[in-house]
């Protein structure tokens, strides 16, 4: 079922919004990000995808492309982004959304081998969520921030005050926000698969749960395993209420690319318990026009929404990365 008119504001996690606002408040961040993107990042991603990946189409994989198309329809994408298969000989599970002007999704062969169709819908929905929320620019930079920053510093490229920018502060803020953006995209994946148990098994498999163990566990044992993990996630929610524990969490996860898996499940359960998940599915939602203007004003990167598909549009981009519609205020 297509979630007609779905806007990412409807399901974005508050820590995602707050984290990106904090990142944007660091002087120079926007200039650096745009310069990295304009200078080589978009070109680099385009070269890598076309040279190293295999594009998945209806003609070469009806199953995978059908799942991808279904996820795009549910999240109300007007145009279907490119979809690639990464060749990872080690069998690692990887999935990512990349690109700015031409966003695309890529998954590794390990995902194809170990995810069933419902789990694949969650995984694809998760990555499409990054595109729909406009995460891809900062997330692409966050993966190799130190390398990009050094390159940009050696080139200067018109940024005379680059050496004075607080590189470490930017790196910490960018990685914190990047982890929080995963919570938003987990919600997008859940909107696609519509089943919390599927989302839980998807997160567990991304965490590296051995495929051999998956094949040996019976259906009943899998359900018991899921129930146990969800109970663990609910226990973690009460643990998180203590301020000192929040500080410990920040310290322990500061160098990681993703939040703890139990936190991801905990946040999905909290979202379901709030009733917001069901309200979106039933389209009993607050229309974009009715959302508090303060929330819209706080959107990152001088963000606004595409008048055609509702995707987030960032300053400096003249065309919507999701549907290609021209944005009048692009600068």
pLDDT tens digits along 205-253: 887 665 545 544 444 456 666 777 777 767 766 655 555 455 555 545 5
Rg of the Cα trace of the chain?
Answer: 20
Which of 54, 125, 117, 127 has its CA nearest to residue 85?
54
- How far apart CA 180 and CA 169 sit, in angstroms, is 17
- CB–CB of 166/202 below 8 Å? no
The helix/strand count (H/E) of the chain reads as 16, 6
Q: What are phi and psi of 96, to 5 degrees?
A: -155, 155
Question: pLDDT higher for 181 or 286?
Answer: 181
Q: What is the residue-averaged pLDDT of the chain?
A: 75
With beta carbons less than 8 A apart as the criterion, state whether 187 and 129 touch: yes
Is the whole model's pTM more than 0.85, yes or no?
no
Least confident of 5-9, 147-151, 162-166: 162-166
Domain ranges of the chain: 8-313
pLDDT at 196: 93
State the Cα–Cα distance between residues 84 and 88, nearest whole angstrom.
Answer: 12
CA distance 78 to 68: 13
Q: Which two tokens stand for residue 84?
A: 């690639």
What residues form DSSP beta bridges with 312?
Answer: 305
pLDDT at 316 over 90: no
pLDDT at 289 over 50: no
Nearest residue to 140 via CA among 182, 98, 101 = 98
pLDDT level of residue 301 (50, 70, 90 thresholds): very low
pLDDT of residue 226: 72
Q: Give me the residue label for tokens 């069998």.
A: 91
DSSP secondary structure, 126-182, as one string: HHHHHHHTT-HHHHHHHHTHHHHHHHHHHH-TT-TTGGGS-HHHHHHHHHHHHHHHH
pLDDT digits (tens, 9 = 90+) for 59-114: 999 999 999 999 999 999 999 999 999 977 666 788 999 887 788 999 999 899 88
What pLDDT was estimated at residue 33? 77
Contacts for 108 with CB less than 8 Å, ≥ 6 apart: 85, 86, 87, 88, 91, 92, 93, 94, 95
The answer for residues whose C-beta is within 8 angstroms of residue 200's C-beta and 6 or more apart is: 226, 229, 230, 265, 268
How large a percentage of the chain has pLDDT more than 90? 34
Instruction: Name the more confident of 4 and 51.
Output: 4
Tell me the two tokens of residue 173: 């803020």
- More reliable by pLDDT, 198 or 48: 198
Under 8 Å CB-to-CB from 171, ≥6 apart: which residues? 145, 146, 149
d(CA 179, CA 243): 19
User: How far is C-alpha 328 from the chain's CA centre?
Assistant: 26
Using alpha carbons, select from 11, 13, 120 the residue that is nearest to residue 76. 11
User: CA torsion angle for 181, 184, 186, 189 (degrees, to 10)?
Assistant: -120
**Does the structure show a pLDDT above 50 at 159?**
no
Instruction: Please report the pLDDT score of residue 45 as a whole number.
Output: 78
């Amino acid at each position: 079922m297509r979630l007609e008119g779905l806007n990412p504001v409807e399901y974005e996690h508050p820590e995602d919004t707050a984290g990106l606002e904090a990142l944007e408040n660091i002087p120079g961040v926007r200039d650096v990000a745009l310069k990295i993107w304009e200078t080589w990042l978009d070109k680099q991603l385009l070269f890598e995808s076309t040279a190293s990946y295999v594009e998945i189409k209806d003609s070469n994989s009806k199953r995978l492309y059908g799942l991808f198309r279904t996820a795009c329809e549910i999240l109300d994408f007007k145009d279907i982004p490119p979809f690639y298969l990464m060749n990872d000989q080690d069998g690692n599970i990887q999935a990512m959304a990349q690109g700015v002007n031409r966003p695309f999704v890529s998954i590794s062969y390990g995902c194809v081998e170990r995810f069933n169709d419902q789990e694949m819908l969650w995984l694809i929905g998760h990555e499409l969520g990054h595109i729909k929320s406009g995460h891809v620019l900062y997330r692409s930079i966050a993966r190799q921030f130190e390398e990009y920053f050094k390159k940009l510093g050696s080139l200067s490229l018109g940024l005379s005050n680059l050496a004075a920018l607080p590189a470490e502060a930017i790196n910490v803020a960018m990685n914190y926000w990047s982890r929080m953006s995963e919570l938003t995209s987990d919600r997008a994946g859940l909107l696609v698969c519509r089943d919390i148990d599927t989302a839980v098994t998807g997160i567990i498999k991304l965490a590296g749960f051995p495929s051999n163990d998956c094949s040996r566990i019976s259906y009943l044992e899998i359900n018991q395993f899921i129930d146990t993990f969800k109970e663990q996630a609910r226990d973690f929610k009460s643990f998180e209420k203590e301020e000192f524990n929040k500080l410990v969490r920040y310290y322990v996860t500061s160098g990681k690319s993703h939040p703890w898996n139990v936190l991801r499940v905990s946040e999905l359960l909290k979202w379901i318990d709030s009733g917001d998940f069901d309200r979106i599915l039933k389209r009993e939602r607050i229309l974009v026009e009715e959302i508090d203007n303060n929330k819209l004003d706080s959107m990152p990167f001088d963000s606004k929404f595409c008048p055609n598909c509702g995707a987030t549009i960032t300053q400096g981009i003249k065309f919507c990365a999701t549907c290609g519609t021209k944005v009048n205020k692009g600068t």
